[in-house]
Amino acid sequence: SFVSDPYWNKGIEYVKDQERGYDYKEDLYVPGYFELPIKKGESIIFSAGVGEIKPRSLSMMYNKEMKLRTYRNSFFNCLKNSAQQFYLKKQKDNYLLAGYPWFGVRARDLFIALPGCTLAVGDVETFDSIMHTAMRALKAFMEKGVRCEVIQGIDYPDILLWTVWSLQQYAKETSLEHCTAKYGTLITEIVDYIIKNKHPNLFLHENGLLYSNGHDVPISWMDAVAYGKPIIPRSGYLVEFNALWYNILRFSASLIADKPEQRVIVDRLNALGDKLALSFKDMFLNDYGYLFDYVDGNFADWSVRPNMLFALSLDYSPLDKKERKKALDVVTRELLTPKGIRTLSPKSHGYSPTYLGNEAERENAYYQGPARPWLMGAYAEAYLKIFGLSGVSFLERMLIGYEEEMSNNCIGTISELFDGNPPYMGRGAISFAVNVGEILRVLSLLKKYNHF
């Protein structure tokens, strides 16, 4: 029975809203409470919602949901449970949310998070269902220039690159043959689309490198904006775009390498890859052993940023092992933290490690130092490619920092970003798909190494 006992809680304060510069105080009204008898050994199922429901169905619904639940009794299970919470079904279509509480479905986040949130937890079927939905949106854009209403940012210049990267992870989890049979046509169409310069803001130049204009709108994942303009105007030749492009050329050639009738195409892809490898080193590798973040005309960005990691971590790299190790040493020294990889080195101009303040202050700090857990995926792959089995124990120790997050902020998941300096406080969205997905992928990768 309901007992009417109305009262007001005055001056409730919301610390996170205060940190973000929003109104953070309000009064909350409590109308009363419910009261019911319960005997020893009995269970009570209570449900509250905005619509009516038959009480007799509650027990059956509860038991059904409990059978599907992943118990949060380990680090892996916490992340698995969190990964499945990003799954979104709309009628017959399947998507992956970018995060909670305010993110929708974003193309870049979807393709980066998808392998970890599905394949790393043994859910190949969900990968296929989400990719099938995304594939329709990709083809509508490539064939007709139509932007998807649900998947935001399908037209960004790096989306096709991340799509093939995601399918490459699928090939490694299933098999090259299975991936080719299921997605080979899509990969071929994407490569052909890029080579023929059909994308409105992704241009293949004579030197084999991809060029994009990012002066007026952000074109990469570092997409903070102030007064309508990118805070970090990454434009021209972006290091991760071209690392992904080189990897795609080699990967797509490997899919058809054993087909004699495709020999001409394989040779063409590899020739373009050879040209790109030479141009990549000339364009990005500097005298200090790390990679420029982007090069636009005569301007080269010397900032030490994590985007170079993709040239070190992908299965096919334009750099040799010695060059990769030298760049990885810089990342380890200047960007690695217990909560992810910093977005900017403390030694670089503009370093701002704390994501606090009003909206403008937060936007300016967003990619100027705070650490991102999802970049640990690329870091771990790069580290294992250099150090092999001897690197496993180091990476396992680095993951310990995330375990304490399972009982902080949003229980059992990982925040969007962390301060770049101690004590590395979690900030932003309370649960972020790319972070959960890539840490799961690292756990899966380490498990495979430990089986050797």
Which stretch of 36-50, 155-169, 234-248 has the lowest confidence by average pLDDT? Answer: 36-50
**pLDDT of residue 200 exceeding 60:** yes
CA–CA dist 320, 325 (Å, integer): 9
Distance CA 406, CA 403 (A): 6
pTM (2 decimals)?
0.92
For residues 440 and 80, the answer to whether their CB atoms sit within 8 Å is yes
Cα 35 to Cα 25: distance, rounded to the nearest angstrom: 30
Report the candidate in 72, 64, 166 with the shortest Cα–Cα distance to residue 110: 166
pLDDT tens for residues 246-266?
Answer: 999 999 999 999 899 999 999
**Which amino acid, residue 27?**
D
Residues 119, 120, 122, 126: is their CA dihedral positive or negative? Answer: negative
- Whole-number Å distance between alpha carbons of 268 and 261: 13
Q: Show Cβ contacts of residue 305 under 8 Å, excluding neighbours closer than 6 positions.
A: 293, 335, 343, 344, 345, 348
HSE (CB half, 13 Å, CA atoms) of 86?
35
SS3 25: strand
Question: Other C-beta atoms within 10 Å of 180: how many?
Answer: 20
Query: Are the C-beta atoms of 143 and 199 separated by less than 8 Å?
Result: no
The CA distance from 82 to 436, in Å, is 7
Query: Which residue is associated with the tokens 């046509």?
Result: 185
Q: Which pLDDT tens digit goes with each residue over 293-310?
A: 999 999 999 999 999 999
CA 387 to chain CA centroid, Å, is: 24
337: helix, strand or coil = strand
Q: Please list the residues that pair with 30 across neighbouring strands.
A: 7
| Per-residue model confidence (pLDDT) at position 452 | 54
| Predicted local confidence at residue 293, as pLDDT | 98
Q: What's the per-residue H, E or C state across 133-197? A: HHHHHHHHHHHHCCCCCCCECCCCCCHHHHHHHHHHHHHHHCCHHHHHHHHHHHHHHHHHHHHCC
State how far Cα 123 lies from the chain centre: 18
User: What is the pLDDT at residue 451?
Assistant: 64
Quick: pLDDT tens for 326-379. Answer: 999 999 999 999 999 999 999 999 999 999 888 889 999 999 999 999 999 999
3-state secondary structure of 346: coil
DSSP string, 283-325: HHB-TTSSB-SEEETTEE-----GGGHHHHHSSS-SS-HHHHH
H or E segment at 417?
A: strand 417-418
Task: Give 166's pLDDT tier (boundaries 50, 70, 90).
Answer: very high
Predicted confidence (pLDDT) per residue in 80-91, tens digit: 999 999 999 999
Averaged pLDDT, 13-29: 89
Average pLDDT over residues 215-228: 94
Per the DSSP assignment, residues forming a β-bridge with 12 are 26
Mean pLDDT of 403-409: 89
43 pLDDT band, cuts 50/70/90, is confident
Q: Is the pLDDT of residue 192 over 60?
A: yes
Share of the chain above pLDDT 90, in %: 87
The token pair at 205 is 């130049």
Residue boundaries of the structural domains of the chain: 2-64
